[in-house]
Chains A and B, each alone.
Chain A
Amino acid sequence: MRLELGSFPVTEIVFGAATRYDAGRLTVDRDAVLAAVRQDPRVATAALEIARPGESVRIWPVRDVIEPRIKAAGPGVCYPGICERDIATVGDGRTHRLSGMGVVEVSSVNWHDAGGDFVETYLDMSGHYGDMYPYSRLWNLCVVVEPDATLGEEIKNYAVHRAALTVADQLGEAVRPLTPPEREVFELTPADPSLPRVVYIWCVHSPQAMSGSPTAFCTATYGLTQLTPPWYLHPNEILDGALTGPYRTAFAMSWTVANNPLLLDLYRRHGRDWNFLGVISLRTEWTTQTEKQLMANQTAKLAKQLGADGAVVTWDAGGNEFIEVVRSIQACERLGIKTVFLTSEDDATDGAPTMLEPLPEADAIVSTSFFKNVTLAVPEAPAVARVIGVPTKQVLRGSTIGLHAGADTSLPTSGPLPPPWRYDDHYGFGSLSCIE
């Protein structure tokens, strides 16, 4: 697979008569783009708003942030499979991307209606809370969309996500025929055989357990969200969005997956520091020990069969999903594959272990600090001048400290607002960590 990734950096987004890109300025024909969105009869209302870096603006509820990527040459479509998109294998040819921006999916649709999972992420474009995430430095085109209220919850999810993808495609079309100012070629060229062979074990939450449905909406692999045995993915497939869609946390968005710095660095140093073999994607939250261990065994076996000497491991969840992850690490180590684990930590009060099941084989851990905003003592996000999306935010009792600990309450989105429950820097974007 050989992929030329052409980047069109966005330095400004404005609304105008026609959608076009010109030397960093992206003009968006609001009416035309919304007309494309409204072609889906499942969409009830849709609007577009621009959130600028540094502005005093808050976006809520944020379900996903998507970087527009479009195939300029080669098979398939970017972000394949999800929302009924073409499932042809991607990763070859040429892909154009609009960098420095995001398409933000803003909707009050919840992940599923089985309970326990709630959309809780909001994004600030300035201030201490905004600074914690990369999105405040992007130009964000917000798609504020609500679906037909009579639809089932699952379909509502796909409808609003498709609306966001439609917007992303519309923008991508503007740069498809153009010559990109920046180009990078991604190819796993034959490497010096003396270099260590390294695989990236990328653990992704499946919503199947919590929702009771194999087709519940969440981060998807070619559109599939269900519990499946491990996939091998060429990193070009990731760059073309084969692993896409949000999970619950602010760092689990289509944007962070496609711009995963760990993946990109692994790739860019291929042939120099190591021979990067690719990605093994493991679905998590199987609900018996046997299934979890089976996934771990098969992940390690796949890595070994690929010839891995080493593996970097990340995950995007919490709770019992940890077990598949740490057991995969254990299984790899037992097969002689040296692992490094990038993870966040839980509360350390009274010297408690900060992970669900610490195992001695997981002896090389990089910590992205405590995952709970409460443990990080993140102060409330300040009041803002403008809100994009829903004007109130439900805060559930027990989900935050301070005044709102005791009762469910509804707060004005304009704030001040307690931060969401989880911070959780899954891919190591930041330098925050823990020490003892």
Chain B
Amino acid sequence: MTSLRVVHYVNQFFGGIGGEDQAHVGVTVKTGAVGPGRALETALGDGACVEATIVCGDNFATERADDLARAITAELDRLKPDVLVAGPAFGSGRYGLACSHACKVATDRGIPAIAAMHPDNPGAAEARRGVYIVPTGASTVAMPAALAALAPLARRLGRGETLGPAEIDGYLPQGRRRVHDRGRPGYQRALDMLLDKLQGRPYRSEVPYAPPERVPPAPPVADLARARIAMVTTGGLVRKGNPDRQVAANAVRYHRHAVADLESLSPAEWEAYHAGYFNHLVNANPNYILPLSFLRDLERQGRIGKVHEHIYALPGVSTPVAVSAGHGRSIAADLKAAGVEGALLVAT
């Protein structure tokens, strides 16, 4: 078997250049293993060889990520290693982010890659974008354990293997959940977990917690009195009789309706079709879930510029998040293209 050929990414400290004072340094490539790279080689065993070490200052990596990407790409194209290993970064946030970035650059280039850092490292969030990250302790004290955990996975990736589930193979969850028979009934596992938790023994949730995505808030509308305002609802608003055949749940599409000629949503012409709440009250007054009558009043009073001529509706129940995100992006693109500055989304 040919020995594993590795490229190692480290920061300025582990690369032997200096401490925080050297965080600004750019990319240098050293031949062979540097610093922890030697212990990495040993841990990888089987005559594995770190053929090159890419060293980069943490600040440079953060501020000039594209330059770093170019340097890594060049090195990987030159050497064509079996695998890129980044870190361990432990708790160092900028280093962790740089490691994840390096891994993404590598996999984009067709080279398997893996990093290691503490689960709370900001760079660890990249696990959810497909980066393989082995969890480590918070400081360099954990180096031997980190390398011991990292090495087997780096070897397997370097041999072209696909890793098994995160929970079994020991890397951070990537949000790729799949059906798995755990061999014992759920009620037994629940009571086992309860006893472990009550008695202070370690336990592992079968559903790891991931903090929700944060979206930067859109800047405020400058002048509401001149703004075009749109309305969107997940309350399942449909034309009466549902001629467009909107489903009652699990929406694979949304519906767009023209309201330019309407002052209000009349119960003679609109109703709700949504399997997740009692529809009758909205059937009597559809404006409860799409406040057209209110916005028309405000438009007449000059308090908003214009009511956008299209409204968007779908039944917001039982829709997979990924599908919902797609609907949202598409609606947002429509609204943006139409010059809409603000939108009211009514959810039931």
Contact = CB atoms under 8 A, between A and B. Distances in A.
Interface of A: 114-117, 196, 198, 209-212, 260-262, 265-266, 269, 273-274, 287, 309-310, 312, 318-320, 338, 340, 342-343, 345-355, 358, 360, 362-370, 372, 376-377, 396-399, 425, 427-436
B205 A364 contact: yes
Contact of B189 (A210, A358, A366): A366
9 contacts: A114-B278, A212-B280, A262-B190, A310-B194, A351-B210, A368-B186, A429-B186, A430-B186, A434-B178
A269 B191 contact: yes
Contacts of B258: none
B20 interface: no
B344 interface: no
Interface in B254-275: 273-275
B209 A436 contact: no
A340 to B, nearest CB: 4
Contacts of B252: 398
Contacts of A209: 277-278
Contact of A342 (B183, B187, B203, B322): B187
B342 interface: no
A363 B203 CA distance: 9
Nearest to A358: B209
Given A312-B191, A428-B185, A429-B185, A435 B180 contact: yes
B179 A370 contact: yes
A367 B212 contact: no
B1 interface: no
Contacts of B179: 369-370, 376-377, 432-434
Given A364-B205, A397-B247, A432-B179, A210 B277 contact: yes
A265 B207 contact: no
Given A269-B191, A430-B186, A431-B183, A318 B318 contact: yes
Contacts of A312: 190-191, 194
A21 B199 CA distance: 47
B275 to A, nearest CB: 4
B337 interface: no
Nearest to B210: A353
Interface residues of B, number: 62
Interface in B150-205: 165-168, 173-191, 193-195, 197-199, 203, 205
Nearest to A435: B180
Contacts of B178: 348, 434-436
Contact of B205 (A196, A365, A397, A432): A365
A348 B187 contact: no
Contact of B182 (A338, A342, A347, A431): A431
Contacts of A260: 187
Contact of A338 (B167, B197, B322): B197
Given A309-B198, A431-B186, A349 B320 contact: yes
Nearest to B180: A435
Given A347-B320, A364-B193, A338 B198 contact: yes
A276 to B, nearest CB: 11
Interface centre among B180, B183, B211 (most CB of A within 10 A): B180
B276 interface: yes
Contact of B209 (A261, A319, A360, A427): A360
Given A319-B317, A351-B174, A432-B180, 15 more contacts: A116-B278, A211-B278, A320-B276, A345-B177, A352-B322, A354-B177, A354-B207, A396-B247, A398-B247, A399-B250, A427-B187, A428-B187, A431-B181, A431-B186, A435-B180
Contacts of A377: 179
Q: Please provide the 3 A-B residue pairs with the shortest distance between their CB atoms, ordered closest to farther.
A: A351-B175, A428-B186, A398-B247
Interface in B221-245: 245
A210 B278 contact: yes
A353 B195 CA distance: 26
B325 interface: yes
Contacts of A116: 248, 274-279
B237 to A, nearest CB: 14
Nearest to A361: B209
B321 interface: yes
Contacts of B206: 365-367, 433-435
Contact of B185 (A273, A367, A430): A430
Contacts of B191: 262, 265-266, 269, 273, 312, 340
Contact of A363 (B167, B184, B205): B205
Contacts of B18: none
Contacts of B278: 114, 116, 209-212
Given A312-B194, A353-B210, A428 B180 contact: no
A261 B179 CA distance: 22
Contacts of B149: none
Given A340-B190, A364-B205, A367-B207, A196 B198 contact: yes
Contacts of A349: 320-323
A348 B177 contact: yes
A237 B174 CA distance: 44
Nearest to B324: A352
B208 interface: yes
Nearest to B200: A338
Given A350-B321, A352-B321, A353-B321, A436 B174 contact: yes
B38 interface: no
Interface string B317-338: 1101111010000000000000
Contacts of A343: 207
A260 B317 CA distance: 28
Nearest to A285: B277
A310 B198 contact: yes
Contact of A340 (B129, B180, B184, B197): B197
B207 A365 contact: yes
Nearest to B166: A436
Nearest to A422: B318
B300 interface: no
Interface string B287-327: 00000000000000000000000000000011011110100
